[in-house]
Amino acid sequence: MTRTDPRKQVEALLPLAAGKSQQAVADDVGVHASTIRAWLKNPVFAGELARVREAAARKPFDADAVMAAVDEAEERLRGRGPVVVVIPPGTSASRRRQLLAQGIARALEAGK
């Protein structure tokens, strides 16, 4: 699998958070719809999308908070921010170890 340019992932965050279809976002960003589906299955991307959606859903709407959430997501998706390991509830012990090992590997590769 080839690594996707994190800039494309960042570009996809706002339209996905706003409820735009996966196909429409894929067309706008310049990737295949299956790439969007793969990103949504990726716990790191899914976690960043959840944070942006949460910021967008706050009442009253705060555009600055939404953009701050996108900026923070960009830092993490590009590997410049802290490494975030998302472990979904109900994850088995062996899968938790695997996810943590992947997070440690990402941190080491990024020189953190």
Q: Give the model's confidence band at 2: pLDDT under 50 very low, under 70 low, under 90 confident, else very high.
A: very low
* Cα within 13 Å of Cα(6), Cβ side: 15
Q: pLDDT of 59-106, one tens digit each?
A: 999 999 999 999 999 988 887 667 778 888 899 999 999 989 988 887
Query: Residue 98 belongs to what H/E stretch?
Result: helix 93-110
3 state DSSP class of 44: helix
What the block records as the tokens of 66 is 């939404």
Q: pLDDT of 10-53, one tens digit each?
A: 999 999 999 999 999 999 999 999 999 999 998 889 999 999 99
Rg (CA), the chain: 15
* Centroid of chain to Cα 26: 15
Query: Amino acid letter at 30?
Result: G
Domain ranges of the chain: 6-81, 87-112
Q: d(Cα 26, Cα 12) in Å, to the nearest integer?
A: 8
